[in-house]
Structure 1
Amino acid sequence: NFDLKRAKKILDADHFGLEKVKDRIIEYLAVRKLKNDLKGPILCLFGPPGVGKTSLGKSIAKALNREYVRMSLGGVHDEAEIRGHRKTYIGAMPGKVIQNINKAKYSNPVFVLDEIDKVSSDFRGDPSSALLEVLDPEQNETFKDNFLEVEYDLSKVLFIATANSLDTIQPALRDRMEIIEITGYTLEEKIQIAKKHLLPKQLEEHGLKSSQLSMDKKSFAKLVDDYTRESGVRNLERKVGAVVRDAAKSIAMEEEYQKKVTPEEIRRILGAEVFDKELYQDNKHAGVVTGLAWTSVGGEILFIESSLSRGKGKLTLSGQLGDVMKESAMTALSYLKSNAEKLKLDYRVFDNYDLHIHVPAGAVPKDGPSAGITMLTSLASVFTQRKVKQKLAMTGEITLRGKVLPVGGIKEKILAAKRAGIKEIILCQKNKKDIDEIDDRYVKDLKFHFAETVEEVLSVALLPQKVPNAMELVITEQKS
């Protein structure tokens, strides 16, 4: 069915947000309609768990009026599962691709290849290499299954792959797919999803009518903010389910209960809040800076602390840092040493003091190229004893020459900063294009500073000097 308006209606009804993905699917349909053939591209939906990648496949099948088949590739490590066994083997059978098409009873289903990043290889062959033939639009017209022994045309099938990360997908395989990134949902989107999809679904699953239980926006916001912190909505659905079960128990036992769930009721049902909403802490000490990090479940804010103690210039790093972050810290220190005069630092400070850089939450491993300017600001702050501006966060990498480099995951980081009560953000000038792509309502109330050099970062981040520099006092003491 190539009715585009109907397809748009179905996609909008099934999924809130995800505009880019929906537009791409409508484009695909428009091209098929004009060209009047079914040869399809291979789409790969990539994003964190629970954002609706697999269910999007189901919606696409419904919108196209085609059969839907799903094949999970998690842990597949035998090439024969894709290409089938030769008939000479005992227990030979066709590969999963042909089996699923046989099950669909049509040659043009919507075929979802779930978890394509979790395919593994061993002595039985490499399934991701076998998938090259399945997913190459030039080759899959003549796909050869070892069991069938005749060529089969897979070009009419619309393949949709899903993946949580792209790093583990073989480069040749990644090249054959069109990658559509699905980022995490914002607070506003989650509230709408819970209201329109999760609550009705949970009510139906627990045998309740919509008149028996309702929740307002504040209650949903409390669930999202205080009890779940994830990119997707799986955990949110579980929490909504717990609230519905509480009402179901009261109805079954014929007890009095509140039909309209309030935030206070949620606290009674789910217990104390799991997450603190306001993660931001005041920078009362020099050397404490708020950084922004990307994780597989969305953005996070993290603190970087530096302290000085009398010693011989030793550098200590703690907080389970990976190699990239350790290198960022060393680069930052080298930059400060070579530009000590610019920052009005006495070069002897570096030899007379030990420096300790710590990133709290020491049990959590941290790595990634986005803490360079944060480390540098923390060091500059502790050496000059100038405090960092309130409610400011930053992300970006640095070079030894003092250039600021762009980083990824900007949308998730911005949302994390907003959740944590940050008001100003410093980014690399080249990341301005990422901000332009984010919906205006998510970036309002935030002030952005775009920097190209480290000097620009420090001029924005550090407050003016109010007291004599502690280091200068020590040096004068030593001179006298």
Structure 2
Amino acid sequence: MTNSKEIIVPLLPLRGLLVYPTMVLHLDVGREKSIQALEKAMVDNHFIFLTTQKDTSVDNPVEDDLYTMGTLTRVKQMLKLPNGTIRVLVEGLNRAEIISFHDKEDYYEVSLKLYEDDVEKDVETKALMKTILSYFEQYIKLSKKISAETYATVSDIEEPGRMADIIASHLPLKPKEKQEILETINIKERLKRVIEIIHNEKEVLNLEKKIGQRVKRSMERTQKEYYLREQMKAIQKELGDKEGKGGEIDELTEKIAESGMPDHVRDTAMKELSRYEKVPSSSAESAVIRNYIDWLISLPWTKATEDDLNIQKAERILNKDHYGLEKVKERVLEYLAVQKLTNSLKGPILCLAGPPGVGKTSLARSIASSLNRNFVRISLGGVRDESEIRGHRRTYVGAMPGRIIQGMKKARTINPVFLLDEIDKMSSDFRGDPSAALLEVLDPEQNHNFSDHFIEEPYDLSKVMFIATANNLATIPDPLRDRMEIITIAGYTELEKLYIAKDHLLPKQIAQHGLSKGQLQIREDAIIKIIRYYTREAGVRSLERQLASICRKTAKIIVSGEKKRVIITEKNIEDILGKTKYRYGQAELEDQIGVATGLAYTTVGGDTLQIEVSLSPGKGKLVLTGKLGDVMKESAQAAFSFVRSKAKELGIDDEFHEKLDIHIHVPEGAVPKDGPSAGITIATALVSALTGRKIRKEVGMTGEITLRGRVLPIGGLKEKSLSAHRAGLTKIILPKDNEKDIDDIPKSVRDELKFIPVSHLDEVLEHALTGGEL
């Protein structure tokens, strides 16, 4: 049983500290209200109530911040320290509970209900006291942090409540647990709770002891292994084996630590290193493990170049290295701008598509230079094995990582510009489809965990800027194309080629052939003549070869002593390069019947096609020649059906298909030709041949036709327009739906061509055949 009575005293809140009855304790008091409460206690009767704050971070606690149960104490001694705080010695008297709370402005005062422990002991209480003493003794032996004298002191205590309080004060308990014991008024419950706590603490100490013994054994084993290794090194040294494998292991361990690998990769490397140490050097497996560890070490895991996010500088570099190509440059500058604003951006996957020689590969190199990133290139032309991308498993003899991981090793950083050259030239066979393996590489949502069969550990490719190049998008599988942002480079205009030759190709060739600017000079009119009469291409590769030929011949002239300086003009170009190879423009010299000029888009850029129709007496046989693909054959059939259905309106004999054989031919028959854009051209040539009306020589046309005569949209208008311009055509008939694409055509070409949008074949015939009005 416990007795209780009431008293009013000043309040002193404690932070992270608790005082039990009968305890004597030193406290340092610094808060102003606490000091005032102490001074009030000293003036009155030296009594003060101590209770603990629920939250130690509160500087000025109020009633809700304090536990209601605390300890009434007597201030035995008070000393002011030089730093302004007060050191006080207090003695705990009774448990007490706050009944009411009074704010005296300078300090707090509380009305208390006091509790006194019942000193009578029944049989159960005595048994509990024996148990708690036994547990406490065992705890002291395990802990070794409490002296034997403490146990002797506790064992002399006769009062059960006081014994529980003193033991609790010596246990490493949290303030909340100590408060729980303070609030336990019932002595038997208090003893049971302390016994339970000591039991738990004993279990923790026993577990710590076991762990400590295990760690000690492990350390002893490690020390033993270290000692044996040192002995092995000494023996190897005496045998003249230098430091044998031991020195190599130390070196590899250091390299693994310095490589910056993620933790899971480092664990794998160390595990393999441990195997390597145990495998004899003469074993074939030793070389396999060593090769694997070398690959893990040589890969970049964390090293990265810092992006140079200066857009003006990047623009200068791109403009310096390449003339034109505005769309590609704009896309790279957009990437830089977004990265500058976000400071993080998953690497985009760009695909530069266009004919050979337009500068796709060199453009990728310039992008790397403008970003201040390392550049690495792999060629995918002819790759037909999935292992070329993903690598071979280490179980195979001569296994190696795939080309992606090999490229990352060459790059030496985790954020290079990575060029996948000729991505449209991959093929597949029974060994797998490499384009399918590239799906993971080129997917920003997956490539942060790229898996190579040889490396086996996930590798982060998300910071890489991938750039692919292709000549023909049609051969790239749809899922792979879906992962890339296609940027089409159509080719160069004559004016662009002139600037490229003057500013880039000629200086480069002069330097490569050991000449100086003063020894060779090529006039603009000569360069234009080379472009028109010695090359026919969308890019500038043939142009560069012709300039290289001029440089070689110039070098021979100068070395032989014939001249000290060579000037190439339009008049003497044939003396150097020989007779012209091409006729400038393929446009007909005069209007003709049954010959229409079509515009085609091929893998090497735009081109013009002459479609010829001839009639001969017969039984309506339709002959198609010129190595045409299925699509062009279908276009011819559709055009023939349309002309038959409209024969009367067009002024054609209704019976022509029974009296005449029709032969449709596309010259240069050895070259395969296909594409869905020759319908209106074939129809126009057919109508011209059947009506005798001539087709205008300056008109080129492109568009597919339906059986009702409707003109359908086409692709590659820019490339086709460039080829028309090269061929000397001045008017282009195009589908009305393609009118929006005219803006993509360079202004210098747009200004010299007249575009005629049409939606029906009747409009085509009106503009293409003589007798109609343009």
TM-score, normalisation: structure 1: 0.93
In the alignment, what sits opposite 1:241? 548
Do structure 1's residue 228 and structure 2's residue 535 form an aligned pair? yes
Matches within 5 A, 1:89-238: 89-238=396-545
In the alignment, what sits opposite 1:256? 563
* Deviations, residues 286-311 of structure 1 (Å, cap 9, x unaligned): 22222222222222222222222222
In the alignment, what sits opposite 1:437? 744
- Residue 351 of structure 1 aligns with an amino acid whose one-letter code is E
Q: Is the CA contact 2:492–2:538 (under 8 Å) kept in the aligned structure 1?
A: yes
Q: 1:101 to 1:38 in 2, by over 3 A?
A: farther
Q: Displacement of 1:225 after TM fit?
A: 0.8
- Residue 217 of structure 1 aligns with an amino acid whose one-letter code is E
In the alignment, what sits opposite 1:62? 369
SS of structure 2 residue aligned to 1:292? strand
Q: Displacement of 1:79 after TM fit?
A: 2.2
| Aligned counterpart for 2:620 among listed residues 309, 313, 319 | 313
* Deviations, residues 34-89 of structure 1 (Å, cap 9, x unaligned): 11125211111111111111111111111111111111111222222222222333
- Residue 203 of structure 1 aligns with an amino acid whose one-letter code is I
Q: Displacement of 1:209 after TM fit?
A: 1.2
Q: Is the CA contact 1:283–1:289 (under 8 Å) kept in the aligned structure 2?
A: no
* Deviations, residues 400-431 of structure 1 (Å, cap 9, x unaligned): 01101111221122122222222222111111
| Aligned counterpart for 2:724 among listed residues 386, 405, 417 | 417
Q: Which structure 1 residue ranges, 4+ long, deviate > 4 Å from structure 2?
A: none
Q: Displacement of 1:258 after TM fit?
A: 4.8
Q: Is the CA contact 2:700–2:733 (under 8 Å) kept in the aligned structure 1?
A: yes
Separation in 2 of the partners of 1:96 and 1:309? 60
* Deviations, residues 451-471 of structure 1 (Å, cap 9, x unaligned): 111111112222239xxxxxx
In the alignment, what sits opposite 1:474? none
Q: 1:13 to 1:129 in 2, by over 3 A?
A: same
Q: Displacement of 1:186 after TM fit?
A: 1.1
Separation in 2 of the partners of 1:205 and 1:217? 21
In the alignment, what sits opposite 2:634? 327
In the alignment, what sits opposite 1:389? 696
In the alignment, what sits opposite 1:2? 309
Q: Is the CA contact 2:721–2:745 (under 8 Å) kept in the aligned structure 1?
A: no
In the alignment, what sits opposite 1:83? 390
Do structure 1's residue 359 and structure 2's residue 666 form an aligned pair? yes
SS of structure 2 residue aligned to 1:55? helix
- Residue 581 of structure 2 aligns with an amino acid whose one-letter code is V
Q: 1:355 to 1:105 in 2, by over 3 A?
A: closer
Q: 1:96 to 1:444 in 2, by over 3 A?
A: same
Separation in 2 of the partners of 1:57 and 1:449? 37
Percent of aligned pairs sharing the same letter: 58
Separation in 2 of the partners of 1:129 and 1:183? 28
* Deviations, residues 346-397 of structure 1 (Å, cap 9, x unaligned): 3123322222222222333322221111111111112222222342221111
Matches within 5 A, 1:273-288: 273-288=580-595
Q: Whose Rg is larger?
A: 2
Separation in 1 of the partners of 2:625 and 2:404? 49
Q: Displacement of 1:251 after TM fit?
A: 1.6
Q: 1:337 to 1:4 in 2, by over 3 A?
A: same
Separation in 1 of the partners of 2:585 and 2:347? 47
SS of structure 1 residue aligned to 2:613? strand
Separation in 2 of the partners of 1:304 and 1:180? 31
Q: Is the CA contact 1:283–1:388 (under 8 Å) kept in the aligned structure 2?
A: no
Do structure 1's residue 340 and structure 2's residue 636 form an aligned pair? no
TM-score, normalisation: structure 2: 0.58
Q: After the TM superposition, which of the residue ranges 240-249 and 444-453 deviates more from structure 2?
A: 444-453
Q: 1:103 to 1:349 in 2, by over 3 A?
A: closer
Superposed CA RMSD: 1.7
Q: Is the CA contact 2:558–2:565 (under 8 Å) kept in the aligned structure 1?
A: no
| Unpaired segments ≥5 residues, structure 1 | 466-480
| Unpaired segments ≥5 residues, structure 2 | 1-307
